[in-house]
Amino acid sequence: MNPVVVDISHYQNPTSFANAKKAGLWGVIHKATEGHSIVDDKYAKNRAAATKAGLLWGAYHFFRPGRIEDQVTFFLNNAMPQPGTLLCLDHEDEGCSVADVETFLRLLDEYSPQLHVLYSGDLIKEQLGNQVHPYLQKNTRLWLAEYGPKSKVQATWDKYWLWQFTGDGDGPQPHSWAGIGDKIDISHFDGTYDELVDEWAMQRTGDTGIGSDIPPTVSPALTKGDIVRWGQASLNFLGSDLLIDGNLGPKTDTALKQFQFIASIPETGKFDQATVAMLVHKITDWSADRR
């Protein structure tokens, strides 16, 4: 076993992600949202601390029955993924069908070229039976939840990508981690650290990247005006004095290009992928420094 990834939520109280990394941890996947209205209140704080410690970062959405489009938007708006953020769908609710899972992930596909991750165990096996699901086979990696000494993968996948082999005190030891706590969900990765880094936020075959009109931290349901308003508010948070009106006027253009220049990113004058990611990074750092 190569236990190197943990998944946590507000139920855990990490004390030191730096110590967790020293103990051999490579990556953290954190609950961001659940259903239509639940946001994990420790997500932002733990994200800042974990990434500062140099750990790979991922976000998952706990799927619930209901309007799927709203859940995708809710997840993206609160997870605020950067280009290196792993995106996962946690499928454990029997009220969500395989068709619902496909719909959620197809909507996520419109936002991101990432080869997304589906977390599930007995439920997906029961729902699919012996069927090979073409979309899931091509467009997802399986994060298998199965406690015990052996794993069994459903026919859609040749193998798991991650295997959560212990958690909540169940399954084989260990189920604790220095700096994070006891009764932790721990996952095995069958590869090296460099391989995990390369695969963490890998793209689907044939995709070249996210379109410049939809930054990675903004939901595709938002209009360009919404994105500009968000950007103006973010620049104001960092010290500008802009009218938040959703328009790229001369004052916004100047402040935006000045931010891009200082951040050493292309001075496009647009709230594009690199700019939004850098704004989120700066705001996250600012918040972390004041905790």
Report which listed range, 179-183, 187-191, 222-226, 283-287, is most confident. Answer: 187-191
For residues 275 and 230, give the distance between their C-alpha atoms in angstroms, rounded to a whole number. Answer: 12
Mean pLDDT confidence for 198-207: 79
Q: What is the pLDDT of residue 222?
A: 52
Q: What is the pLDDT of residue 141?
A: 97
- pLDDT tops 80 at residue 153: yes
Q: What is the pLDDT of residue 98?
A: 97
- pLDDT tops 50 at residue 11: yes
Do 222 and 79 touch, CB atoms closer than 8 A? no
Closest CA relative to residue 160, chosen from 192, 125, 188, 126: 188
- pLDDT tops 70 at residue 211: no
- pLDDT tops 70 at residue 206: no
Helix axes 68-79, 98-111, angle to 10 degrees: 50
Do 6 and 42 touch, CB atoms closer than 8 A? no
Residues 6+ apart with CB under 8 A from 80: 217, 280
In the chain, pLDDT over 70 holds for what percent of residues? 88
Residue 281 CB neighbours (<10 A): 15
Q: What is the pLDDT of residue 182?
A: 87
Mean pLDDT confidence for 99-111: 93
In this structure, which amino acid lies at residue 161?
A: W
Q: What is the pLDDT of residue 217?
A: 40
More confident residue, 7 or 234: 7
- The encoded tokens of residue 119 equal 């977390």
- pLDDT tops 50 at residue 282: yes
Q: Do domains 3-200 and 224-289 have the same CATH topology?
A: no
Q: Residue 168 — very low, low, confident or very high, per pLDDT cuts 50/70/90?
A: low
- pLDDT tops 70 at residue 10: yes
Mean pLDDT confidence for 46-61: 95
Mean pLDDT confidence for 90-101: 97
More confident residue, 208 or 69: 69
In this structure, which amino acid lies at residue 176?
A: S
Q: What is the pLDDT of residue 277?
A: 79
Q: What is the pLDDT of residue 213?
A: 34
CATH no. of 224-289: 1.10.101
- How crowded is the C-beta side of 141, counted as CA atoms within 13 Å? 21
How do residues 129-150 score in pLDDT, each as one tens digit?
999 999 999 999 999 999 988 8
- Where do the domains of the chain lie? 3-200, 224-289
Q: What is the pLDDT of residue 215?
A: 39
Q: What is the pLDDT of residue 226?
A: 76
- pLDDT tops 90 at residue 291: no
- pLDDT tops 80 at residue 286: no
- pLDDT tops 80 at residue 273: no
Q: What is the pLDDT of residue 71?
A: 94
- pLDDT tops 50 at residue 212: no
Q: Which fold has domain 3-200?
A: TIM Barrel (3.20.20)
Residues 6+ apart with CB under 8 A from 248: 228, 256, 269, 270
- pLDDT tops 90 at residue 175: no
